[in-house]
Chain A
Amino acid sequence: MARVRRNFCHTCRACSEDERGVADILAIAFMFIVLVFAGVLLHYYSVTPLRAATDRQLSLKSGHIYGALDKAQVGSYTLSYLRAAAENLVLAQPTVPGDYLRSRMDNTLEYLRPLEYAVVVSLTRENAQPWVLVCPSGAGQPAAELKQFTHRGVVSVTKAEAAGERVVLVQVAVTFFRLP
């Protein structure tokens, strides 16, 4: 019975042309989909060098902002921004008052940062609350999925104690990320 049916289909011209037409359309549709995917992939990877160069520039900028804060002096004081912040973290009576330092550093970061990016300056030491400044203040801490560029360093502060002077090391991180 099956053989009779197959023979019938082979002899039926209309049926044979229908089957070939569907196969052609499927092949063309598949090639079109492959073409679209290939186009998207090729163009995505073709801008990879530029994306990497942009990241390198942002990394460089975070290093330079760190350098600027490490060297530039706070207002009329002779201390740099990072040293003054480290003193605020370590000493009970720092040279630069905390509120004044935050205000000046916020102004400076507002001036130095690119418009679409936020900067977080974070100083930490063992057994102490970290000293953190975010600019602009509404940006908050960067989300984990955001690309971040961090430059780290250490600032030392000499602390006078009953037993003598002690050098305290403060870890500093300047993080740069794009505002959402």
Chain B
Amino acid sequence: MITFVILVVSAYRQYRASSEAALLSDVTSSIATHLVLEELVYVDSVGKPSAYVIDPVKLGSLTKFKRGVGGENYGFRVSLSYRSGMEHVLGPYGTAPPADRPNCTLVVGAALFENNRLLPAKFEVVAWRA
């Protein structure tokens, strides 16, 4: 009976840890999606936004690195890498994640508007509970 109780408690703690990690993963996905599809989207000369195309000017001028999701505050850091002859990295923008808290890193594909060209790029988001 004691062994069974220990087993249940251990499984519950593992479930909690797993749920926390899943929540952080979903929040990171949510932040990345919002940035790539809305906040950092390149808008062309006629005012039409292009989903999945990141404007480097908007990326460089990003100042708010906190988001409230589900009543909790999360901090994040972003960077963007692309190849144009050689590998280039824009960023990272935002503070480094705290060492004492778990963080989640997500890298997604995107396009970068650079010198009137649309280049394939990798957009990285690191998020943590603030």
Asked if A64 and B108 make an inter-chain contact with CB atoms under 8 angstroms apart, the answer reads yes
Contact with A along B93-117 (1 / 0, CB 8 A): 0000000000000111111000001
**Complex partner residue of A72 from B10, B25, B106, B118, CB under 8 angstroms:** B118
How many chain B residues have a CB neighbour from A under 8 Å? 39
Contact (A56, B26) CB under 8 Å given A46-B11, A71-B52, A72-B120:
yes
User: Once the chains are docked, how many angstroms separate the CA of A46 from the CA of B111?
Assistant: 37
User: Once the chains are docked, how many angstroms separate the CA of A71 from the CA of B4?
Assistant: 55
User: Once the chains are docked, how many angstroms separate the CA of A35 from the CA of B10?
Assistant: 13
Contact (A67, B51) CB under 8 Å given A38-B4, A72-B120, A112-B109:
yes
Contact (A80, B109) CB under 8 Å given A42-B11, A67-B51:
no
Asked if B22 and A53 make an inter-chain contact with CB atoms under 8 angstroms apart, the answer reads yes
Asked if A38 and B7 make an inter-chain contact with CB atoms under 8 angstroms apart, the answer reads yes
User: Once the chains are docked, how many angstroms separate the CA of A61 from the CA of B108?
Assistant: 6
- Does any Cβ of B come within 8 Å of A146's Cβ? no
**Complex partner residue of B83 from A47, A54, A111, CB under 8 angstroms:** A111
Asked if B120 and A42 make an inter-chain contact with CB atoms under 8 angstroms apart, the answer reads no
Asked if B52 and A111 make an inter-chain contact with CB atoms under 8 angstroms apart, the answer reads no
**Complex partner residue of B7 from A35, A47, A57, CB under 8 angstroms:** A35
How many chain A residues have a CB neighbour from B under 8 Å? 33
A-side contacts of B79, CB under 8 Å: none
Residue of A nearest to B87 (CB): A111
Contact (A35, B3) CB under 8 Å given A54-B25, A67-B109:
yes
- Does any Cβ of A come within 8 Å of B73's Cβ? no
Asked if B4 and A46 make an inter-chain contact with CB atoms under 8 angstroms apart, the answer reads no
Asked if B118 and A46 make an inter-chain contact with CB atoms under 8 angstroms apart, the answer reads no
List residues of chain B with CB under 8 Å of any chain A CB.
Answer: 3-4, 7-8, 10-12, 14-15, 18-19, 21-23, 25-26, 28-29, 32-33, 36, 50-53, 83, 106-111, 117-123
